[in-house]
């Protein structure tokens, strides 16, 4: 959350900073700002709203070849110009951009105020600017170290100082900072999306690490010593971060799902032995057999994908598996078992709650693998091994293609764990064949977009909706409700179908539609029975099901998806729910890619 950019080089900094902020806007978009070092002053420009407002009001004379910028998701202080970043020290000499939360900002603020400092904002970031400016240090690096020694909390920061106009100093503790290595120029960002237009050579800072960034290079260090970091190459290109001819990133990413699934499967299906190849797990068959339980950790949609994955693994490998929100796991002092495989799931690989859960697991000796989409991300580096999702860059806040590839990755993991146990070669062959059919089946669902848009227009008129599903269908319902509420702003609640009669049925009536997940599986009869209960109370129905299913009740809207193997049906049943949410939000005139109060990568508690 929040986007950070920085530039040191021979070119005017402001256009590069604004371009980078535009590419990071999905990380926060309530205000934005840039600061550049001029010969006698730090030139500062901030504005409330989107980056386009900042760019439209940027002064024509805003020269400077060293600068920093920020797009904000508010934590301390309401969205306003005074609370936007960069924040300056009282003497106007130091500028700071910051992602994270300074936990002891209140006491530090009180100490500084008692010492005569007048604050110009409500932010915790301004505390850092004052501490750096007041440090008794001769170098910017030592001043930053002195300031950070006084703070508790998380941060990714970039600092510019008028007295050291040839450099930026950056630091990381819990919030990502990446250095982009260019030709006689250097870039800084919180996400590679801001860098790939200028360079694909990047360096990831670790927690507790800082760097001095000059036009001719960088030097990383910690409080104790210098460190050595080698740049890695980012696979993604700048074109992958563009919408192209699409109205929204979310629709582009929905349409990209068939190819994303092909990438996730490529080279991983072993048709000779009817299993999968997952070399990134860093474990052999004997080690895989030793696990007696699987615990999956994620947040938001990653958590719901984890529920799909847990069910697949337990059903196939016949070992207990469950999913839990990483945000809860890290706070409840869990028992860590040596024969449990822990799986951390995150699109960005930077989700703070998930990252801290992984670090706690590692501290207690747990074996952790990661399912992440970003090579070199914090969670990827912390884990013992993992499965890269290969979904490609995902910009829309509401996850689509990354979520689908999480489901695919869990299916791969389930087949791997199942085949080293009791899953027969015939079952392995059956599942591999079904996996290979997934891209074409997704294409056929997306081709039904016109019908789905029509259904979404009707659902968008309801102030509240239920999404229901049973066993395999329940996490599908949860994900459907999540998508609908986060971008359409309509209240949507998910329940297990069997739980309707234990309370929620009291709300069912003509004004509350129910989106029911009804796969053609062993529970079809029970699911159809629940549809009767809803229609008996005049509840409008939208049913997501398979061809040929006799629902036995009049449903206002029926959406059919191709039938896969029962274990893989949840993946395909999820796709139309993405399209429903997209078109409902579009019908209501909302910003589909950047829903209010949310951001793409949650890197704060």
**The domain that contains 574 carries what CATH number?**
3.40.50.10490
Provide the pLDDT for residue 482: 97
Select which of 2, 299, 383, 542 is catalytic.
2
Could you say which of 222, 241, 260 is where a domain stops? Answer: 241
Q: How sure is the predictor about 189, in pLDDT bands with cuts at 50, 70 and 90?
A: very high
Does residue 597 form part of some domain?
A: no
Q: How sure is the predictor about 397, in pLDDT bands with cuts at 50, 70 and 90?
A: very high
Task: Say yes or no: 30 and 163 in one domain.
Answer: yes
Task: Say yes or no: 211 and 87 in one domain.
Answer: yes
Does residue 433 form part of some domain?
A: yes
Q: How sure is the predictor about 362, in pLDDT bands with cuts at 50, 70 and 90?
A: very high
Does residue 194 form part of some domain?
A: yes
Q: How sure is the predictor about 132, in pLDDT bands with cuts at 50, 70 and 90?
A: very high
pLDDT > 70? residue 305: yes
Q: Which of 242, 208, 191 is nearest to 4 (CA)?
A: 191
Provide the pLDDT for residue 598: 85
Query: Which token pair is 312?
Result: 């697949």
Q: How sure is the predictor about 244, in pLDDT bands with cuts at 50, 70 and 90?
A: confident
Task: Say yes or no: 191 and 295 in one domain.
Answer: no
Give CA–CA dist 182/438, Å, rounded: 40
pLDDT > 80? residue 384: yes
Provide the pLDDT for residue 342: 98
Task: Please give the order of strands across the beta sheet that includes 186-189.
Answer: 42-48, 31-37, 66-72, 3-8, 186-189, 178-181, 201-204, 232-233
Provide the pLDDT for residue 604: 62
2 as an active site residue: the answer is: yes
Does residue 306 form part of some domain?
A: yes
Q: Please list, in sequence order, all residues whose beta carbon lies within 8 angstroms of the beta carbon of residue 401, skipping any fewer than 6 positions away.
A: 253, 254, 256, 257, 260, 391, 392, 394
600 as an active site residue: the answer is: yes
Provide the pLDDT for residue 553: 87
The residues with which 4 forms a beta bridge, in sequence order, are 70
What is the rounded average pLDDT of the residues 42-48? 94
Q: Which of 405, 410, 403, 411 is nearest to 301 (CA)?
A: 403
Q: Which of 523, 492, 500, 301 is nearest to 399 (CA)?
A: 301
Does residue 600 form part of some domain?
A: no
Whichever domain contains 237, its CATH number is: 3.60.20.10
What is the rounded average pLDDT of the residues 551-575? 94
Provide the pLDDT for residue 184: 95
pLDDT > 70? residue 472: yes
Task: Say yes or no: 229 and 309 in one domain.
Answer: no
Task: Say yes or no: 135 and 78 in one domain.
Answer: yes
Task: Say yes or no: 487 and 566 in one domain.
Answer: yes
Provide the pLDDT for residue 240: 79
Instruction: Work out how many domains the chain is built from and give that number.
Output: 3
Residues 263-287 have pLDDT tens digits of 999 999 999 999 999 989 988 889 9
Query: In 3-state terms, what secondary structure has residue 299?
Result: coil
Provide the pLDDT for residue 44: 96
CB contact burial 481-492 (16+ within 10 A = b; e otherwise): bbbbbbbbebeb
Could you say which of 429, 446, 463 is where a domain stops? Answer: 446
Does residue 599 form part of some domain?
A: no
Does residue 542 form part of some domain?
A: yes
Provide the pLDDT for residue 544: 98
Residues 249-266 have pLDDT tens digits of 999 999 999 999 999 999
Q: Please list, in sequence order, all residues whose beta carbon lies within 8 angstroms of the beta carbon of residue 539, skipping any fewer than 6 positions away.
A: 508, 509, 510, 512, 513, 514
Task: Say yes or no: 8 and 53 in one domain.
Answer: yes
Residues 510-527 have pLDDT tens digits of 999 999 999 999 999 999
Select which of 483, 485, 594, 600 is catalytic.
600
Q: How sure is the predictor about 306, in pLDDT bands with cuts at 50, 70 and 90?
A: very high
Task: Say yes or no: 277 and 142 in one domain.
Answer: no
Q: How sure is the predictor about 1, in pLDDT bands with cuts at 50, 70 and 90?
A: low
Task: Say yes or no: 120 and 138 in one domain.
Answer: yes
Domain extent at residue 439: 243-446
What is the rounded average pLDDT of the residues 370-375? 92
55 alpha carbon, distance to own chain's centre: 26
Task: Say yes or no: 262 and 361 in one domain.
Answer: yes
What is the rounded average pLDDT of the residues 299-327? 96
What is the rounded average pLDDT of the residues 392-406? 95
Evaluate if pTM is beyond 0.75.
Answer: yes
Task: Say yes or no: 425 and 452 in one domain.
Answer: no
Does residue 211 form part of some domain?
A: yes
Could you say which of 241, 269, 302 is where a domain stops? Answer: 241
Average pLDDT along the chain = 94
Task: Say yes or no: 57 and 198 in one domain.
Answer: yes
């Amino acid at each position: 959350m929040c986007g950070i950019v920085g530039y040191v080089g021979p070119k005017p900094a402001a256009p590069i900073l604004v371009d980078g902020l535009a590419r990071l806007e999905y990380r926060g978009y309530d205000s934005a700002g840039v600061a550049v070092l001029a010969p006698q002053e730090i030139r500062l420009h901030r504005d409330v709203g989107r980056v386009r407002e900042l760019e439209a009001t940027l002064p024509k004379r805003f020269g400077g070849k060293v600068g920093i910028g920020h797009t904000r998701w508010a934590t301390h202080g309401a969205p306003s110009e005074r609370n936007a970043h960069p924040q300056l020290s009282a003497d106007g000499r130091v500028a700071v951009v910051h992602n994270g939360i300074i936990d002891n900002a209140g006491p530090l603020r009180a100490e500084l105020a008692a010492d005569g400092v007048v604050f110009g904002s409500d932010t915790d970031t301004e505390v850092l600017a004052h501490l750096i400016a007041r440090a008794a240090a001769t170098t910017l690096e030592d001043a930053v170290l002195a300031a950070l020694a006084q703070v508790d909390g998380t941060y990714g920061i970039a600092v510019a100082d008028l007295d050291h106009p040839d450099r930026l100093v950056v630091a990381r503790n819990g919030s990502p900072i990446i250095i982009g290595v260019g030709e006689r120029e250097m870039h800084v960002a919180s996400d590679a999306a801001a860098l790939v237009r200028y360079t694909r050579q990047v360096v990831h800072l670790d927690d507790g690490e800082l760097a001095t960034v000059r036009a001719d290079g960088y030097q990383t260090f910690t409080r104790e010593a210098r460190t050595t970091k080698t740049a890695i190459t980012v696979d993604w290109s700048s074109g992958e971060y563009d919408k192209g001819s699409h109205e929204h990133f979310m629709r582009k990413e929905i349409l990209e799902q068939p190819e994303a699934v092909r990438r996730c499967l490529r080279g991983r299906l072993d048709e000779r032995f009817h299993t999968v190849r997952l070399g990134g797990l860093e474990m052999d068959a004997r080690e895989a057999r030793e696990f007696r339980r699987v615990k999956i950790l994620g947040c938001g949609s990653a958590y719901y994908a984890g529920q799909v994955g847990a069910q697949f693994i337990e059903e196939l490998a016949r070992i207990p598996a469950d999913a839990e929100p990483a945000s809860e796991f890290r706070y409840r002092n869990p028992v860590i078992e040596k024969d449990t495989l822990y799986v951390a799931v995150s699109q960005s690989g930077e989700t703070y709650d998930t990252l801290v859960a992984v670090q706690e697991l590692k501290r207690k000796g747990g074996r952790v693998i990661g399912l992440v989409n970003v090579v070199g991300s914090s969670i990827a580096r912390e884990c013992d091994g993992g499965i890269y999702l290969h979904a490609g860059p995902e910009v829309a806040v509401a996850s689509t293609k990354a979520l689908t590839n999480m489901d695919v990755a869990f299916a791969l993991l389930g087949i791997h764990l199942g085949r080293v146990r009791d899953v027969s070669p015939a079952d392995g062959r059956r599942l591999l064949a079904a996996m290979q059919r997934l891209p074409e089946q997704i294409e056929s669902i997306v081709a039904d977009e016109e019908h789905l848009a029509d259904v979404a227009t009707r659902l968008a008129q309801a102030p509240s909706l239920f999404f229901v599903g049973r066993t395999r269908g329940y996490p599908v319902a949860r994900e459907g409700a999540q998508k609908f509420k986060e971008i359409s702003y309509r209240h949507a609640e998910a329940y297990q179908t069997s739980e309707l009669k234990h309370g929620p049925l009291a709300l069912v009536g003509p004004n509350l539609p129910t989106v029911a997940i009804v796969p053609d599986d062993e529970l079809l009869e029970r699911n159809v029975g629940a549809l009767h209960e809803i229609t008996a109370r005049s509840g409008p129905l939208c049913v997501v099901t398979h061809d040929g299913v006799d629902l036995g009740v009049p449903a206002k809207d029926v959406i059919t998806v191709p039938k896969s193997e029962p274990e893989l049906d949840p993946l395909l049943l999820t796709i139309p729910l993405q399209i429903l949410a997209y078109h409902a939000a579009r019908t209501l005139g909302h910003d589909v890619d950047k829903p209010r109060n949310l951001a793409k990568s949650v890197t704060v508690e």
